[in-house]
Amino acid sequence: MAGMARTLNVALIGYQFMGKAHSNAYRQVGRFFDLPIGVRMHTLCGRTEPAVSEAAKKYGWENVATDWRRVIENPEIDIVDVSTPGDSHCEIACAAAEAGKIVFCEKPIGNTLAEAERMLRAVEQAGVANAVFHNYRKAPAVALVKKMIAEGRLGTLYHIRATYLQDWIADPSFPLVWRLQKDRAGSGALGDIGAHIIDLGRHLVGEFAEVCGAMHTFVQRRPLVGAVDDRLGASASTETGEVTVDDAAMFLARFQNGVLGTFEASRFAVGRKNYNRFEINGSKGSVVFNLERMNELEFYDASEPGQTHGFRLIQVTEGDHPYAGNYWPVGHIIGYEHTFVNLVADALLSIDRGVPCSPDFRDGYENQRVLDAVERSHATRGWIPLTS
């Protein structure tokens, strides 16, 4: 990182699953990307001092704190990264923006549309840079799809069908972690993983025009939580509590440009561990991406001779593929954690250039509008428009 013009001090609020991923990104970004801005892992903040101290030592943070307000007041801090459960995103992010800090935040940015709007207004009024960790935009294969669509390789777009399937709560005895509580998480599968495919839909295809959705909770009550680990898991107690979020959500969509879409998010798809897949069909071809094979992209080119028609596999590891050249020789794949590294690298470059990060709080707000519309559609059993 020698020779960089400046270094930004980062404070990370939250240190469990996403905190680990964000910490790794800050630790690695300067080692793989030649950036005009460096980052210093200044402070890790969490509520429990022994646990946050242990995490800080493990992840490489210099200081620890247990009060996020004190962190935001610290004049040494340049970036505040909000990686807490959703019920505290809005308060922390707005306070950080009002203090003039650069604000990064996990998705969805708020638990409600009103919170997302407040957060967007806060960063815009403060004039501070901001970014949202929709990290799947930053998989090389997804970035290649974006480039191919922009170049017209798929022609006129017709369809997108996106699924994000997991099974980590399919066992009814799995405990009532915070992601299963609406007051903490905002929603269930819809906001947790559905938000990712909504963002990919907007990023790759365009803005939504209207949606028609359905949501369902398969297990109504679960054991209360005993001890918690940082990999979405926990031990169960003998008492039970009510599940107040959806286990699965699906919706139809029409986009403003005429594309039709289907979206499904479920944490009850037994056998699917992190199956984030989309297919986009156009007049000149189609592409298929699956996060479980994230270095691969399937491409059907309709311009090829009929005798050789068929999907072909692109290994997105060439030096001129998006992001790939920053890592290893051709054919040496990267993983889930590198999508966060790529996102931080892009954000730092955008901050240096004085241009909006991608994705930013505007994207977070627009994604939240879709989440809100799907919930309202489920409640009214009808189509909900998103156009103003």
289-343 pLDDT tens trace: 999 999 999 999 999 988 889 999 999 999 999 999 999 999 999 999 999 999 9
Q: pLDDT confidence of 133, banded at 50, 70, 90?
A: very high
Residue % of the chain over a pLDDT of 70 = 96
Distance CA 99, CA 68 (A): 12
DSSP single-letter state for residue 106 = P
Please determine, for residue 1, whether its predicted confidence score (pLDDT) is greater than 70.
no
What are the tokens at 104? Answer: 């990064």
Same fold, 6-135 and 139-334+358-385: no
**Residue 352, Cα to own-chain centre: how many angstroms?**
23
Topology classification of domain 139-334+358-385: Dihydrodipicolinate Reductase; domain 2 (3.30.360)
CA 195 vs CA 208, 271, 303, 366, 386: distances in Å: 13, 21, 34, 11, 16
Candidates 139, 190, 202, 138; CA nearest to 362 is 202
Residue % of the chain over a pLDDT of 90 = 93
Check residue 387 and give its pLDDT.
Answer: 76
Please determine, for residue 59, whether its predicted confidence score (pLDDT) is greater than 80.
yes
Distance CA 222, CA 180 (A): 9
AA identity, residue 236: A
> Model pTM?
0.94
Please determine, for residue 255, whether its predicted confidence score (pLDDT) is greater than 80.
yes
Domain ranges of the chain: 6-135, 139-334+358-385
Q: What is the mean pLDDT of residues 232-242?
A: 75
Return the axis-axis angle of helices 17-32 and 49-59, rounded to nearest 10°.
30
Check residue 30 and give its pLDDT.
Answer: 97
Q: What is the mean pLDDT of residues 4-27?
A: 93
Q: In angstroms, how far apart are the furthest CA atoms of the chain?
A: 67
Topology classification of domain 6-135: Rossmann fold (3.40.50)
Between these two residues, 121 and 306, which has the higher pLDDT value?
Answer: 121
